[in-house]
A and B are shown apart, each in its own frame.
Chain A
């Protein structure tokens, strides 16, 4: 179910990422002030934008979960936040490298954009400990959704606050691609699409893997239940548990007919 379209998505991700790298190194002109170092911009900024959008998307999926009580939305929200955290790590590391090359320091505490991103990242770093501290699965999903919505709302507010308050030291990107020369803007947009596609592809991989594991667990439960000492008539094929996932039901049907 989750694996549908994964192959074409993976191929398009590889194609766009390759195109983006080619544009970065062989098409985009060197920036006058920073020179070659500015090439980090094409990986750092898309990573940051995609990570922040992923946090917000996780919040929106959490709203869907609370509205519908469908656990698949909770799973999507969890995966979106999990992947955004990984992209957030990438943003922080590439940002530090850029800062070192550009300003001579790995981290600058009086730069509001850097510090605000770190605050958002640390906020979301508490998501998983909070989630897995709760044992009851239903409560866990509900509390995680509330957290994801609250933190998701904090992300744009934080972004706007920083924009309104700061000195213009950090390069402005969102809404500012028109300031970039044409080849640079094109390269940036292709890089952004490539990183966004990478995010979606990895999320889909994660969801597919989790779904496959859930199906396996359901199948194992069914097989071990079948193995228990139940009367032969009750162990017939019609006694399949109704709570089994449709895909697991399909697997079970194959098992019944052909013994896998």
Chain B
């Protein structure tokens, strides 16, 4: 690994290096910010799914027996 790295051309990171690094960091930061926003959205969707699950469980638990029968007699989706 060390030998392979030694064979690679050295990057001239003197004067221009900071500008090039900054430009590529900008691209990386944009993608990273976007991923962070997507992660927040995903957690929100997960939370909403949990709420809906709770809601549906409450609905099923509070349903009267005749409602279940009526449901069985209808056309399946």
| Residue positions of A touching B, CB distance < 8 A | 21, 25-26, 30, 34-37, 39-40, 43-44, 47, 86, 89-90, 93-94, 97-98, 100-101, 198, 202, 205, 209, 212-213, 216, 219-220, 223-224, 226-227, 232-233, 235-240, 249, 252-253, 255-256, 259-260
Contact = CB atoms under 8 A, between A and B. Distances in A.
Nearest to B30: A90
A86 B56 contact: no
8 contacts: A25-B11, A30-B12, A37-B16, A40-B19, A89-B30, A101-B16, A216-B52, A224-B55
Contacts of B34: 86, 202
Interface in B18-36: 19-20, 22-24, 26-27, 30-31, 34
A258 to B, nearest CB: 10
A252 B56 CA distance: 10
A139 B7 CA distance: 62
Contacts of B76: 237
Interface residues of B, number: 41
A220 B48 contact: yes
Contacts of A212: 45
Contacts of A236: 67, 70-71, 73-74
Contacts of B24: 21, 43
A148 B22 CA distance: 32
B26 A100 contact: no
A250 to B, nearest CB: 9
A232 B70 CA distance: 7
Top 3 closest A-B pairs, CB basis?
Answer: A101-B19, A238-B74, A37-B16
Contacts of A93: 23, 26
A92 to B, nearest CB: 10
B58 to A, nearest CB: 8
Contacts of A40: 19-20, 23
Given A216-B45, A216-B52, A255-B56, A209 B38 contact: yes
Contacts of A37: 16, 19-20
A223 B59 contact: yes
A227 B27 CA distance: 48
A239 B66 CA distance: 16
B20 to A, nearest CB: 5
Contacts of B1: none
Given A90-B30, A223-B55, A97 B73 contact: no
Contacts of A235: 67, 70-71
Contact of A220 (B11, B13, B38, B52): B52
Contacts of A219: 52
Contacts of A39: 20, 23
B6 to A, nearest CB: 13
Nearest to B49: A216
Contacts of A256: 71, 77
A26 B11 CA distance: 8
Contacts of B64: 232
